[in-house]
Amino acid sequence: MATLKLPVENGTLEAYSIRNEPLPLPDARAPRAFNRVAYSAAHVVADPLANDDPWLDASIDWERTIAFRDYLWDLGLGVAEAMDTAQRGMGLSWTGAQELIRHSLEAAKGRPDALIASGVGTDHLTPNANLTVDDVIRAYEEQMEFVEKLGGRIILMASRALVVAAKSPADYERVYDRILSQAKEPMILHWLGEMFDPALAGYWGDTDHMAAMDTCVNVINSHAGKVDGVKISLLSAEKEIAMRRRLAPGVKMYTGDDFNYAELIAGDDQGYSHALLGIFDAIAPAASAGLARLGAGDEEGFHEILEPTVPLSRHIFKAPTRFYKTGVVFLAYLNGLQDHFTMIGGQQSARSIVHLAELFRLADEARVLHNPDLAVGRMKRVLALYGVV
C-alpha cells in the first residue's frame, strides 16, 4: 500500500500507509430499491483558471459541476441544489444560484429518474435594521417564482433576513403561512441551525430549540398538504426524533444531522428519517450501497457500510461547522471527481493541513477513497504546498 507523511496535531509528521481496500463502487446501471428518499446536497466545482478575484467572484466550471450531479443520480441519489453545500451565502450569490438551478434542472430533464429540488431563500436581501417582514415575504416569493417557472421543486431555506426582521414567533408563522399557502407543489422546509450559520441563531423566534420547534411544528402541521417534509440541521439526534414524532401523517423528516445520520435513517419502532445530507456528497457510493442494503431488509449490512463513515463526517462537520464545505470538496478532489482543490470564495483555505490530514486518515478508515493510489498522489501535492515533501 502507498505511504506518505502526514502532519499530526503536535506539529510533527508521521509515516502513514493506506490500510483499507476501498468499498466497491456500485454499478451505475443497476436498479435501485431504496426504502428511504435520499437527497445529497451537492457542491459546485470552481473554475481554477478564471481571471477573477477569488474572494469576491464565483467562477464555476459548469461541465464538471453538472457531471458531479450526474454521478449522484447514477448512484440513485437525489440532488438538493443550490443549498449551503453549494456555498450558498458563502461564495455563491442568488445570481449564481439562479444559473446553477437552471443548469441542473436542464440536465435533469434528460434523466426521467432524476430527483432534484432547489433551494429558495432570501439571500438577495442584505439584512439591516430597516427590513420588514413584508420585505422577507416578497424576497421569498421572487425566488420561489423563479424556480416554479422552471418546473422545479422547492426546498425553502432559512432566512437570515427573517431573523433580523421578525419580532416574535408570530412573524415566522406569518411568513411561512403566506409562502406555503401559494406553493404549487409540496415543499421541503429547511431549519438550518446556528452551528451551520451563526446568523440563524434564534430561528423560529426562540434561542431554545425545543421552544422554536413548537412554532416550526405548528407551521408544518397547519399546512401539511403543502409540506413534503422538513430537514432539520441541529446535530442532535434527540431533537430530530422528538420533532419527527410530532409531524402530521405524510410529512417526512429529512435528516440533516451529519453526526448521527446512520441511526436516524435506520430509525426505530416509531419511525425513521429520510435523508437530505451534505455528507452524502462526500460519501455518495457508500450512501448508495448502504441504502440499497437497507432497502433489501439488511439493516446490519446498512450499518456495516455507513457506521464507519460517521467519524469521517463528524470530523468534516466539526466546529466551526460552516467550513464543512472545504472537507467535502477536498474529498471530491482526492477521489478524482475534479482535477483541483480550488473553491469559490477561496474557501479551500478554511481548514488547516492538520485537519485535511486527519480527513485523509478517516476516509481510509471509512473505505471511501475510491482509488488509494490516486488519493495518495493528490494528497502529496497538497502537502507539498505546506512544505511537506
Q: Which three cell numbers stand for residue 248?
A: 402530521
What residues contact 342, with CB distance under 8 A and at least 6 apart?
A: 46, 48, 54, 348
- Cβ(367)–Cβ(21) below 8 Å: yes
The pLDDT assigned to 31 comes to 79
pLDDT at res. 15: 96
Q: How far is it, in rounded angstroms, from Cα 109 to Cα 371?
A: 31
Q: For helices 353-365 and 372-385, what crossing angle results, to 10°?
A: 170
DSSP single-letter state for residue 3: E
Cell match 444531522: residue? Answer: 257
Number of C-beta neighbours around residue 156 at 10 A:
24
Q: H or E stretch including 41? A: strand 38-41
What residues pair up with 147 in beta bridges, in sequence order?
Answer: none
Element (H, E) at 119: strand 116-120
What's the pTM value of the predicted model, to 2 decimals?
0.96
The DSSP result for 223-250, as a single string, is: TGGGEEEEEEESS-HHHHHHHHTTSPTT
Kindly list the averaged pLDDT for each block of 10 residues, start to end, along the chain of length 389. Answer: 88 95 86 94 97 90 98 97 96 97 97 95 94 98 98 98 97 98 97 97 98 98 98 98 98 98 97 98 97 97 98 98 98 98 96 98 98 97 95
Residue 250 has a pLDDT of 97
Q: Cα dist. 100→10, 58, 82, 103, 255 in Å?
A: 41, 11, 7, 5, 24
* DSSP code at position 265: H
How far apart are alpha carbons 375 and 132 in whole angstroms? Answer: 50
Q: What is the DSSP letter of 278?
A: S
| Contact status, residue 164 vs residue 129, Cβ threshold 8 Å | yes
Domain spans in the chain, listed from the N-terminal domain onward: 33-355
Q: Which CATH class is domain 33-355?
A: alpha beta
Report which residue type is found at 149.
Answer: K
Greatest Cα pair distance in the chain: 60
Nearest-10 crossing angle of helices 309-316, 353-365: 160
Q: Is 289 left (phi over 0), alpha (psi -120 to 50) or beta?
A: alpha
Residues 6+ positions from 323 with CB-CB distance below 8 Å: 347, 350, 351
> What pLDDT is stored for residue 1 in this prediction?
64
Given a contact cutoff of 8 angstroms between Cβ atoms, the answer to whether 245 and 255 are in contact is: no
In angstroms, the CA 276 to CA 274 distance is 7
User: For position 28, what pLDDT does the model report?
Assistant: 75
